[in-house]
Structure 1
Amino acid sequence: MSVHDDLTAVQRCLDDLSRSVGRLEKQLGSGGLEIRRVRNDANHLRESVALLREAAFHPASPHKPELVTISDTPYDDSLWVDSDDEGLGARDRHAP
């Protein structure tokens, strides 16, 4: 099967799921937490398949990330005078 055929089959299954959840809502009521969670999960699946379909048929052009050059020169020590060594406490105190 092609990707298009698979996505179409998934969409059909989601349509069936949505109809089944609708029937359950009529029988059980739509106010319960469980049925709301099932409805939300079905909606999330529908959104995810739509995103997948979009990505499959409109692939983003591959691009290389922009490289950032990091200098080898050390940082200015004055940036750290008012901070504690993380996890070690203040400089003038000792651990218990």
Structure 2
Amino acid sequence: MSVHDDLTSVQRCLEDLNRSVGRLEQQLGSGGLEMRRVRSDADHLRESVALLREAANTGTPGKRPELVTISDDPYDINLWTDTDDEGLGARDRHAP
């Protein structure tokens, strides 16, 4: 199954979920905390699937950042001289 087919299937399920939530709202009312949370969760799912669909259409779903190579060469020791030790204060002072 392709990504497009999977997204279409998820979209159909979300439409069914929204219809069911709508029926529950009619029966139970929409003012209760539980019902508002269910409605909010269903709306968030719909928004998330829309974002996935956009990513799939642009061809960059889950694109990984470019890797950065870090050299195994030792650092220049001069980088660490004449600096304060972070969190320990300056060398010529002491903690209160």
**TM-score of Structure 1 vs Structure 2, range by shorter chain:** 0.5 to 0.7
Aligned residues: 87
Given that 1:18 and 1:42 are in contact with CA atoms closer than 8 Å, whether structure 2 keeps it comes out as yes
The one of 79, 85, 88 equivalent to 1:74 is 79
Tell me, in whole angstroms, the C-alpha distance in 1 between the residues paired with 2:3 and 2:95.
65
Letter in 2 for 1:34: E
Residue 23 of structure 1 pairs with residue 29 of structure 2: no
Runs of 4+ residues deviating >4 angstroms: 75-78
Alignment CA distance shift 1:49-1:92 (3 Å): closer
Q: 1:84 to 1:55 in 2, by over 3 A?
A: closer
Shift in alpha-carbon separation, 1:91–1:12, aligned structure 2, 3 A: same
- Tell me the equivalent position of 2:54: 54
- Structure 2 gaps, min length 5: 70-74
Residue in structure 1 matched with residue 40 of structure 2 by the alignment? 40
- Alpha-carbon offset, residue 4 of structure 1: 1.0
Using the TM superposition, give the Cα deviation of residue 66 of structure 1 relative to its aligned residue in structure 2, in angstroms. 8.3
Give the structure-1-normalised TM-score.
0.68
**Matches of 2:58 and 2:67, distance apart in 1:** 20
1:6 corresponds to which letter in structure 2? D
Identity %: 61
Q: Which runs of 5+ in 1 are unaligned?
A: none
